[in-house]
Amino acid sequence: MVIYIVRHPETEYNKKKIVQGHKDSKLTKNGILIANSLGQKLKNKNISKILSSDLGRCMQTSKIINKYLKLKIIKTKELREMNYGDFNGKTSELIKKNFNLKNLNIVLPNGESFNQMKKRIIKFIKSLDRTTNILIVTHEGCLRAIVSYYKIKYKKIIIELK
C-alpha cells in the first residue's frame, strides 16, 4: 500500500501572499495546469480513492486530478490547513509581524497551533486503511506536518509513504 500526498497547486491568494488557512481562493491558471499534470502522473498508480481536504482549493484540485483517475472523492475536515483564526485571509507579513510562528505551539486568536494541526493530521493518517493505494490532497502546512512526523526527505510534489 502506498499513500500519495499532494498539495493543492497555486491559488490566487498564494500569488498575493495571503495566508488562506480556512479561507479559500481558486486555483490560478498555472495551478490548474499543475493539477492536470498531477492527474496524468497519478493515473497509472492503482489508486483506489481520493481523500481531500474539504476546502475549495483542494476539492478543485481533486476534481481536476479525478478526470484522470475516475474515483470516489472523500472530503474531510481532518485534512484542512492550519486554522489561523482571526488571521485567516490576512497577509503573511501581517501575521509574522504579530506572531512568532517559529513557536509551533502558538495559537492564533480563534485558531489553532501548528502542533495542534499536526496532531489532527497524523491521527487521520494513522487511521487509514492500509490495504490499498490512496491519494491525499491537502495543504502546505499539512504536508510539512506529515513530512516532519515521518521524517521524510522530499523534493517532489508527490510523496510516497510505503
Q: Is 140 a catalytic residue?
A: no
Name the grid cell of 44: 497509472
Q: Between the CA of residue 48 and those of 12, 136, 156, what are the distances in Å?
A: 30, 11, 22
Task: Spot the catalytic one: 22, 81, 112, 139.
Answer: 81
Q: Between the CA of residue 54 and those of 23, 24, 28, 100, 136, what are the distances in Å?
A: 11, 11, 19, 28, 11
Name the grid cell of 51: 481523500
Among 19, 147, 135, 128, which residue's Cα sits nearest to residue 82? 19
Task: Spot the catalytic one: 8, 10, 22, 112.
Answer: 8
Q: Is 93 a catalytic residue?
A: no
Q: Cα separation of 32 and 82, whole Å?
A: 23
> What are the catalytic residues?
8, 81
